[in-house]
Amino acid sequence: MSDHDHAGFTDRIRLGEARERLREHVVPHGRTETVALVDADSRVLAEPLTAARAVPHYERAAMDGYAVRAEDTFGASDRSPAVLRRGDGARPDVSVARGEAVQVHTGSALPEGADAVVMVEHTETVGDDLEVFDAVPEGENVAPVGEDVEAGQPLFEAGHRLRPSDLGLVKSTGVTEVEVRASPTVGVIPTGEELVQSDPAPGEVIETNGMTVAQLVTRWGGDPTYRDVVTDDEDALRDAIERDLDCDLVVTTGGSSVGERDLLPDVVASMGAVVFHGVGLRPGHPVALGVVGETPVLMLPGYPVSTLVNAVQLLRPAVKWAGDMPLNDPPAVRARLDRKVRSEPGVRTFARVRLEEHQGDRVAIPTRTSGAGVLSSVALADGWVVVPESREGIPAGETVDVEDWEWQP
């Protein structure tokens, strides 16, 4: 079926409404798990996180130099240095007595009795003594306990998505594992009697949609189970869906349109209910949502670009909602459109573009505006331009937002 052929879709709804209906049927699963920090990158906290200890947890030297009692340096100058005895900084129980200086390095614990550090470049060794040419106040070049983080300090709220820098901070406070929201489980079922995993004969096609969708689910924080191809047979499709109904979501690829071999909407309807079938977006309008028991079943079209568009627009928010994870808009850059992009009123169009720099001007060049089966039009693109339902295309020369749909959220 072409992008313009909407025959058989009597209730084609807008994308915004499709998302609203989807949201009504996706419930956060509520599960949590404890993971080690090394496995917590990009995970979402299930509870607030506080510092187990202060950072630093001891007073430490902030510069290479000498630990001193600040009052022993008062009045020191280039012309009249303070003269202090050099203590033995190698002793584990080293302390600083009156009139004494002990060598320290950046990060060293401040010896007992000292309350300041003189930078090494402001001193000179003379035999067993140390001449100090700079008076330092109490606390100079000393990092106090809790300068970075105080013990018990709130670090992150529940719902925060952990980044590598966050994990470093958390580890520095003595935390070794965190409670996070469990990844939502997603059954990924590719369908189509023509699909094979390798070495296609004439009339056969290598399966890519299911693999791509499973990879995207992982990127979006889900836990996919990528199933073997299921042929276009009602009993086989029914069995495949039933097998994954214990997942938080089930997503199928292919068989969602209205042709003779597009059996999935009828199969799902016989098992539960179809919430919608047909959405006003291009490419990818033959998308459907069903519910079997309490499990949402998202039926994506079989054309690769249609699969990708619907996965980003519908499956991604569903995964985030199921896992109670934050849903952020994709990043976008501004660029001047090189050629006109056509669109049908009432349809949201996703035009794939590549980005080039022309004399300091960022230009968006459409890779293809039609052809939902041309996967290279996405794989070789840098993003897409979204044409809203209210517009009949975008003229050449207009500045547009190019969404990076494939970013790591």
Q: Which amino acid is at 187?
A: G
Closest CA to 311 of 222, 231, 393: 222
Last residue of a domain, one of 275, 303, 322: 322
CA distance 395 to 342: 8
Statement to judge: residues 43 and 172 lie in one domain:
yes
Q: What CATH number corresponds to the domain at position 177?
A: 3.90.105.10
* Beta-bridge mates of residue 131: 83, 124
Domain assignment of residue 39, yes or no: yes
| Choice between 317 and 12, residue whose per-residue pLDDT is larger | 317
Q: Give the chain's mean pLDDT.
A: 91
CA distance 335 to 361: 8
Q: Percentage of the chain with pLDDT > 90?
A: 79
Sign of CA pseudo-dihedral 294, 295, 301, 302: negative
Last residue of a domain, one of 296, 322, 348: 322
Residue 6: pLDDT band with limits 50, 70, 90: very low
| Model pLDDT for residues 244-297, shown as the tens digit of each residue | 999 999 999 998 877 777 899 999 999 999 999 999 999 889 999 999 999 999
Statement to judge: residues 223 and 240 lie in one domain:
yes
> Are the CB atoms for 184 and 222 separated by under 8 Å?
yes
pLDDT of amino acid 89: 64
Residue 409: pLDDT band with limits 50, 70, 90: low
The mean pLDDT value for 337-353 works out to: 91
Statement to judge: residues 45 and 164 lie in one domain:
yes
Q: Which class for 334: exposed (0-12), middle (13-18), buried (19 or more C-beta within 10 A)? A: exposed
Residue 91: pLDDT band with limits 50, 70, 90: low
Q: What CATH number corresponds to the domain at position 90?
A: 2.170.190.11
The mean pLDDT value for 47-72 works out to: 94
| Model pLDDT for residues 121-148, shown as the tens digit of each residue | 999 999 999 999 999 999 999 999 999 9
How many CA within 13 A on the CB side of residue 389?
10
**Residue 58, pLDDT above cutoff 60:** yes
Statement to judge: residues 207 and 171 lie in one domain:
no
β-pairing verdict for 185-190 and 249-253:
parallel
The continuous run of DSSP H or E covering 316 comes out as: helix 316-322
Statement to judge: residues 100 and 231 lie in one domain:
no
Domain assignment of residue 409, yes or no: no
pLDDT of amino acid 377: 58
Write the CB contacts of 117 (distance below 8 Å, at least 6 apart in sequence).
61, 62, 63, 65, 66, 67, 68, 104, 110, 136, 140, 141, 142
How many domains are there within the chain? Answer: 4
Domain assignment of residue 308, yes or no: yes
The mean pLDDT value for 10-23 works out to: 90
Statement to judge: residues 232 and 283 lie in one domain:
yes
| Model pLDDT for residues 349-381, shown as the tens digit of each residue | 999 999 999 888 999 999 865 554 455 556 678
Q: Global pTM?
A: 0.82
Domain assignment of residue 111, yes or no: yes
Statement to judge: residues 369 and 338 lie in one domain:
yes
- Identify the weakest region by mean pLDDT among 9-13, 168-172, 177-181, 339-343: 9-13
Reduced to 3 states (helix: H, G, I; strand: E, B; else coil), residue 179 is strand
CA distance 403 to 385: 6
β-pairing verdict for 361-368 and 348-358:
antiparallel
The mean pLDDT value for 178-204 works out to: 93
Statement to judge: residues 221 and 277 lie in one domain:
yes
Specify the length of the chain in residues.
409
Q: Percentage of the chain with pLDDT > 70?
A: 93
pLDDT of amino acid 153: 94
Residue 2: pLDDT band with limits 50, 70, 90: very low
* Beta-bridge mates of residue 204: none
Domain assignment of residue 338, yes or no: yes
Statement to judge: residues 306 and 209 lie in one domain:
yes
Residue 48 tokens, joined:
């607030």
The mean pLDDT value for 390-401 works out to: 94
Domain assignment of residue 211, yes or no: yes
Q: What CATH number corresponds to the domain at position 26?
A: 3.40.980.10
Domain assignment of residue 4, yes or no: no
Residue 366 tokens, joined:
């459409």
Q: What CATH number corresponds to the domain at position 336?
A: 2.40.340.10
Statement to judge: residues 37 and 177 lie in one domain:
yes
Q: What is the side-by-side order of every strand in the sheet holding 123-126?
A: 116-119, 65-68, 100-104, 82-86, 129-132, 123-126
Statement to judge: residues 137 and 249 lie in one domain:
no
Reduced to 3 states (helix: H, G, I; strand: E, B; else coil), residue 115 is coil
Reduced to 3 states (helix: H, G, I; strand: E, B; else coil), residue 210 is helix
Answer whether the bond into residue 200 is a cis peptide, omega within 30°.
Answer: no
Closest CA to 253 of 266, 242, 262: 262
Last residue of a domain, one of 322, 344, 365: 322
pLDDT of amino acid 176: 93
Closest CA to 30 of 223, 177, 222, 181: 181
Domain assignment of residue 149, yes or no: no
Statement to judge: residues 299 and 265 lie in one domain:
yes
Sign of CA pseudo-dihedral 349, 350, 356, 360: positive
The parent domain of residue 267 ranges over: 15-31+183-322
Write the CB contacts of 80 (distance below 8 Å, at least 6 apart in sequence).
none
